[in-house]
Amino acid sequence: MKEIILVKNGELVLKGLNRSSFEDVLIKNMRRHLEDLGEFAFTKSQSTIMVEAPDTADLDEAEERLSKVFGIAAYSRAAVCDKDMQSIVKTAREYLKGQLEAVSTFKVEAKRSDKSFPLKSPEICRELGGALLKSFNHLKVDVHNPDVTVTAEIRDSHAFVRGNSIKGAGGMPTGTSGRACVMISGGIDSPVAAYMMAKRGIELVAVHFASPPYTSELAEMKVMELLKKVSAYCGTITTYVVPFTEIQEAIRDCCPQEYFTLVMRRIMMQITNMIAENQNCRAIITGESLGQVASQTIYALQCTDSVAKFPVFRPCIGMDKDEIIAVSRKIDTFETSIQPYEDCCTVFTPRHPRTRPKLSDVEEAQAKIDGLEKMINDAANGAKRRFIKAAQ
Ligand code: ATP
Ligand code: MG
C-alpha cells in the first residue's frame, strides 16, 4: 500500500500574498530535514503539502523529523488508493485497522476536490461509515467527539484515506523572520530561548563564551549537545565559541567586585554585537528571566541593553522557572542542561552583586580596564566557528 505524509501549514495561511513564498521556504526546510533519507517529492495543494517518499525511505523516521519542522500546524500519514468507493472502503479497512480496533468511537469526513466524483461528500461518509461499522462491530459513531476521525479525500488523480492528524511543531518556517544571534550557555534557559525564537521563524547563529581553564572542554561539549537538540527543530546553527579568559581576568583585576558580573555581561553583549553584525543578524536573543538572579533585574538589564546595537529578545523574561523547565523537557534539552559543568558566568562571581546598579557606576567600573577595546576585538576575531547540526 502506498503511503504519503500530508502536511498542513499553519499561520502561513494568514500571510496573504506571501503565502506561496512562505510555503516554498517550508518545503525547502522539510527537504533539508529529510535530505539524508532520500529524494522526497513535495506537492502544494490548497493549505496542504503532500510529501511523497521514495520506496526505500524510512517513513517513521521522516515523520519524526517532520514533527519538529516549524511552520507545520498538523500532519498525518495517509494511504493512497484508486478513486472508487470499493478501493476507498478496502483501503480504510486495512490501513486503519490498528487504530480502529484500539478505540470505541469514530466518525467519517469526506473532502472532494474532484467535483466530478459520482458521490457527494455526505454520501461518501455514509457509505464508508456503514462499511466500517460492519467490519468493526465494537465501533460506535460519535460525530461530536470521536476517538478517530477517518478522512477520505478525493483528489484529481487519487484518493487518500487517513486517521487522526497529529499536531505539528507550529510557528513559522525557519528563515522567514531573518537571522538573530543567541547567547547560549549550558544552562536551562538559553536553549529554551533559542527554541522559542526559532519557532517564530528566526534562523539562529549561536555565541558561547568559554574561559578555559576555568571552564572545561566538557562544559563546551555540553553546549554543543544542547545546540544539536535545538537544531533538530531549526536546522544547522552556525556557532561561535569566544575565548573569554583574558577579559574575565582583566575584569577580576581591575573592577570593583560588586560590578564584576554586570561589566562582564556588557562585554559579552559588545562581542555578540560584533558577531551579529558580521553574520547579518538583526537581533540578539538571551535566556534571561526577570528577577531570576542579580544580573536579571530591571536595573541590570538596562546596563546590558545600553551597549546592545540590536533589539534584544528575551522570550523567557516573563516565565517562571517551572514554565521554562516544561519547555526544556518538551524539546529534550533539560537532562543535558542539568549536568553540572561550570559556566563563565559563575567564574569569579562576587558574593554581593549589585541588584540596583546605576548605569554610570557600571560604566565607570568598565572604564578601569586598560586596553579593553583591543581585548574585545581579539576575542571576537579569535572566536572558533562551527556548524552544529542535529545528529541524524
Ligand atoms: P541559562 O540557564 O541559560 O544559563 P541563567 O539563568 O543561568 O541562564 P545567567 O547565567 O545569568 O542565567 O545567564 C543569562 C543569560 O546570559 C543566558 O540565558 C544566556 O543567554 C547568556 N549567557 C550566560 N552565560 C553565557 C555564556 N557562557 N555564553 C553565552 N551566553 C551566555
Ligand atoms: Mg547560565
> Do residues 331 and 190 touch, judged by C-beta distance below 8 A?
no
Cα–Cα dist 12/18, whole Å: 8
Q: pLDDT value at position 178?
A: 95
* Pocket flag, ligand 1, residue 51 (CB < 6 Å): no
How many C-beta atoms surround the C-beta of residue 268 within 10 A?
Answer: 22
* Pocket flag, ligand 1, residue 180 (CB < 6 Å): no
Q: Which ligand is nearest to the CA of 212?
A: 1
| DSSP code at position 256 | -
Nearest-CA residue for ligand 1 atom 7 is: 187
Q: pLDDT value at position 12?
A: 54
Type of residue at 135? S
Q: Could you say which residues of the chain have pLDDT below 50?
A: none
* Pocket flag, ligand 1, residue 209 (CB < 6 Å): yes
DSSP H helices in the chain: 19-34, 59-66, 85-95, 97-101, 121-135, 189-199, 217-234, 245-254, 260-278, 298-305, 321-330, 334-337, 359-367, 372-381
Cα–Cα dist 149/179, whole Å: 40
Q: pLDDT value at position 342?
A: 85
Cα–Cα dist 231/214, whole Å: 28
Cα–Cα dist 42/30, whole Å: 9
* Pocket flag, ligand 1, residue 176 (CB < 6 Å): no
Nearest-CA residue for ligand 1 atom 2 is: 187
Comparing CA positions, the residue from 251, 238, 241 lying closest to residue 367 is 251
Type of residue at 340? P
> Do residues 313 and 283 touch, judged by C-beta distance below 8 A?
yes
> Do residues 81 and 35 touch, judged by C-beta distance below 8 A?
no
Output the CA 290–ligand 1 centroid distance in Å.
13
Nearest-CA residue for ligand 1 atom 14 is: 288
Which residues have C-beta within 8 Å of that of residue 294, sequence separation ≥ 6? Answer: 261, 300, 353, 354, 355
Q: Exposed, middle or buried by CB within 10 Å (0-12, 13-18, 19+), for 352?
A: exposed
Cα–Cα dist 120/15, whole Å: 32
Distances (CA, A) of 63 to 4, 59, 100: 10, 6, 21
Output the CA 318–ligand 2 centroid distance in Å.
17
Atom of ligand 1 nearest to the CA of 293: 11
Cα–Cα dist 285/95, whole Å: 45
In the numeric block, which cell numbers belong to residue 254? 581591575
Instruction: Identify the three-state secondary structure at position 276.
Output: helix
